[in-house]
Amino acid sequence: MAVERTTDPDRHPLVDRRTILRGTALAAGGVLLGGMMGISTAGQASAAAMPKVYTRADWQARAPRNKIDLVSKGPTHIVVHHTATGNVSDTSTQHAAALSRSIQRYHMDSNGWSDTGQQLTISRGGHIMEGRDLSLKAIRDGKHVVGAHTANHNSHTIGIENEGTYTSETPTQALMGSLVDTCAWLCLVYQLDPSEAIVGHRDYNATSCPGDQLYSMLPQLRKDVTSRMREQLSHLSRVAGTELTLEQLPTYPRVPQAERAVPFYHGPAVGDLDASP
């Protein structure tokens, strides 16, 4: 039976979860990550903490079938998934791009969804890919794109698909390193406490996702993310007031014409309480 985690603000007030950030943020010259100071400092914080993320243009995503839902309030939880696909040895960026295209094709053409279900995808090579349309922009703005990855909880959770099947094997070091970077970035942007915010798909729905091995690694992931956040905030304290810009991301060549579609179903992704996928 899946353990449901409540989002009741009386039980998990966001103010209490921000304890990790509060002291160091003040030391950084008043850097606020919640957007209260607008684009200047909030944007700097996001840019400084952001790992390298390949955009939809980089992997040549299709346009979404319908308008993607965007809400102004950020997510309360980060849901860790596995793709339930092969544990391949190809760790190239080209493979990561092909994986994202394959996932999108399956979600749109087989599931009938508007677009890729998750907001972010990490390959076994550690390459972080933007998933659902507008996800990267929404994160930068402190907002939330409603996905289709965790049934009945898509309005308040952001999903990270990790390539592979981790029922008996563990993820690569490259993947886990990128997962730490990604979760730290998201926790900083949305002011989330990783000890509360980082969960597995099975914490919400009846599924084996993200696999027994990866799920067993979540406690250490939360600790590693906390350490990374402290490093990032220390860095921000040194660069407070300095202009920060996002790195220009590379582009990919023309999408290959023949790429085999594979299933990516690994548990409930859309439920009765969710908007149209």
Looking at the chain, the number of H-run helices and the number of E-run strands are 10, 8
Q: Where exactly are the structural domains of the chain?
A: 51-228
DSSP 51-106: --EE-HHHHTPPPPSSPPPEESSPPSEEEEEE--S---S---HHHHHHHHHHHHHI
Tokens of 226: 């906390």
pLDDT at 96 over 70: yes
Contact indicator for 149, 79 with CB cutoff of 8 Å: yes
pLDDT in tens, 183-234: 999 988 988 889 999 999 999 999 999 999 999 999 999 999 998 988 877 7
Task: Answer for the pair 2, 205: CB distance below 8 angstroms, yes or no.
Answer: yes
Give the mean model confidence (pLDDT) for residues 160-176.
98
CA distances from 29 to 39, 162, 193, 232 (A): 16, 36, 21, 14
Whether residue 210 is preceded by a cis peptide bond, meaning omega within 30 degrees of 0, is: yes
**Using one digit for the tens of pLDDT, what is the confidence trace for 1-12?**
333 343 333 333
Mean pLDDT of 44-59: 85
Rounded Cα gap, residues 272 and 151, in angstroms: 8
pLDDT: is 135 or 44 the higher one?
135
- In which band, very low, low, confident or very high, does the pLDDT at 39 lie, cut at 50, 70 and 90? very low
- Domain 51-228: assigned CATH number: 3.40.80.10
CA angle 268, 171, 123 (to 5 degrees): 75
In whole angstroms, give the CA distance from residue 128 to residue 240: 27
Mean pLDDT of the chain, nearest integer? 80
Q: What is the pTM of this model?
A: 0.80
